[in-house]
Amino acid sequence: MKLASESSLNAYVEKFMEEHRVPGISLAISRHGQVIYQKGFGVRDLETMEPVTPATIFGIASVTKSFTAVAIMQLAAAGKLSLDDPVCKFIPSFRPGGQADPEKIKIRHLLSHTSGVPPLLRREELTKLNDHLEYVGSLTYDPLGEPGEYISYCNDMFLLLGAIIERVTGRLYRRYMTDQLLEPLEMHRSTFSLEEVARLDDVSVPYVQKGGDRPVEKAPWPTLGNYEVGGGIRSNVLDLMKYGQLFVNEGSYEKKEVASAALLRTMWQPVHRLARNTWYGYALKMTPDYHGATLVEHGGGQPGVSSNFGFVPEQGLVVAVLSNLDNVPIRNVWLAAVNAALELPIEEKEPSEPVYEASKDELERLVGTYQSAEGGDLRIFLREGIPVADVAGAEFELRASAGDTLVFVGSEMPLRFFFKAEQQAWAALLGLRMLVRASA
């Protein structure tokens, strides 16, 4: 099997890299377990100019979350836990700050980012999960709502899944993940360990965007601490093709059952709506009808990393793209590869959000500054009646698609707002993070 539109896809990636000044990208596509496309673009190191290959190791960032979710599904299939178990059943010391009742927060809420706990200040110096439990319990914050009511990334809640894995198995999270997932899937060039990365060859150098005369700058690999539960795997696109077989091959790899097919399927069932036709499940995002196909995916970003992994279950397709530059819209490359495999136009996109003529009063309800303890900062203002978003100092023009939704012009990314009794919006969902209106 071969990809019919390979030359068009190559040209798209090269144009993308030039536009966003990306040093290196690695991309692979498999169909029913057979790799039909693999290619490295650019360089893994701007000093040595060594080229990227399909085996080049990059960070995969939050794509790691689906690995942790698979491990939870393995334990559920073995009867060691239930997704409806409260977190405190396995971690009796779990005491979320604010007014949250620990009995109400279930394992499924951690998997779907619906615990009600807002994004918290990252403490990457903490390397023991028990220390993180103390940190989370020491905080005071206002819950976003009841568990299951709202979705918002909270890495500090997600990493509790690692603590649950440790309590249930009696093994360190990293060792369990390596023995029960990375090794059975023969992902021999994938690891949580930066010491192992340093011993391997064909490894990318992470770069961060700086702008001006020096558009990118070399950065160290982030150490992450306990956040490795949601972002610590370093891998390559060929190993991710092996991982993807689990989802398109009924939980099996090379005829060996690794996980329950039924429980894996629950990972991409809709739990909470993100946009008009996009939902979040358990560590995976899904679009149910993309030209008749189901898109299942997750992206990731860290200093020096932009990644996207996913699959089309009906087609047996798996697609992964990794790069060594942060804050670039790498999903565009992933979707272009999906389009190529589905024999759609390379630059095909999801249908645009509808056009809505918002009144001045409706727009005024959205104006304000929204923040999170994790560091997210969003300011909405009107410029000659047009809504504008200031995100970390960069301005983006917006348009309305509903009374509670603005859309970034160009990318079509929706920005949803939420209301309670007050006249103005109290929160905004930017990507996967809920940002709360700052006090005046």
Helices (H), 207-330: 228-231, 237-248, 261-266
Per the prediction, the chain carries an average pLDDT of: 94
Together in a domain, 364 and 345: no
pLDDT attached to residue 407: 95
Together in a domain, 345 and 391: no
Distance, CA of 129 to CA of 164 (rounded, Å): 10
Given 312, 328, 351, the domain boundary residue is: 351
Given 301, 332, 351, the domain boundary residue is: 351
Tokens 């929204």 -> residue: 370
Q: Which helix (H) or strand (E) holds 275?
A: strand 272-275
How does residue 47 score in pLDDT terms, banded at 50, 70 and 90? very high
Together in a domain, 332 and 383: no
Together in a domain, 83 and 14: yes
Mean pLDDT of 271-294: 94
Mean pLDDT of 199-210: 95
Distance, CA of 247 to CA of 265 (rounded, Å): 8
- CA angle, 136 then 142 then 147, to 5°: 80
Residue 151 to residues 116, 274, 281, 294, Cα–Cα distance (Å): 7, 8, 10, 21
Together in a domain, 279 and 185: yes
DSSP notation for 41-97: EEBS-TTT-PBP-TT-BEE-GGGHHHHHHHHHHHHHHTTS--TTSBHHHH-TT---S
Q: Torsions phi, psi of 362, nearest 5?
A: -65, -40
Instruction: Evaluate if residue 90 carries a pLDDT over 60.
Output: yes
DSSP notation for 384-429: TTEEEEEETTEEEEEEEEETTEEEETTT--EEEEE--SSSS--EEE
**Contact by Cβ (8 Å): 5, 15:** no
CATH at 206: 3.40.710.10
Together in a domain, 321 and 385: no
Given 290, 322, 351, the domain boundary residue is: 351
**Interval 105-152: pLDDT, tens:** 999 999 999 999 999 999 999 998 888 888 888 888 889 999 999 999
**Contact by Cβ (8 Å): 402, 170:** no
- The range of the structural domain enclosing residue 332 comes to 1-351
Together in a domain, 198 and 91: yes
Mean pLDDT of 21-28: 97
How does residue 276 score in pLDDT terms, banded at 50, 70 and 90? confident
Together in a domain, 295 and 433: no
pLDDT attached to residue 345: 95
Instruction: Evaluate if residue 440 carries a pLDDT over 70.
Output: no
Give 74 or 95, the one with higher predicted confidence: 74
**Structural domain count of the chain:** 2
Together in a domain, 244 and 367: no
Mean pLDDT of 72-85: 98
Together in a domain, 217 and 94: yes
**Interval 350-367: pLDDT, tens:** 888 899 999 999 999 999
Together in a domain, 331 and 196: yes
Question: Among candidates 91, 5, 2, which has minimal Cα distance to 339?
Answer: 5
As given in the structure block, the two tokens for residue 416 are 């949803």
This prediction's pTM: 0.95
Distance, CA of 61 to CA of 185 (rounded, Å): 19
Mean pLDDT of 336-353: 94
Distance, CA of 350 to CA of 291 (rounded, Å): 9
Together in a domain, 325 and 374: no
Instruction: Evaluate if residue 388 carries a pLDDT over 90.
Output: yes
Tokens 């389009």 -> residue: 339
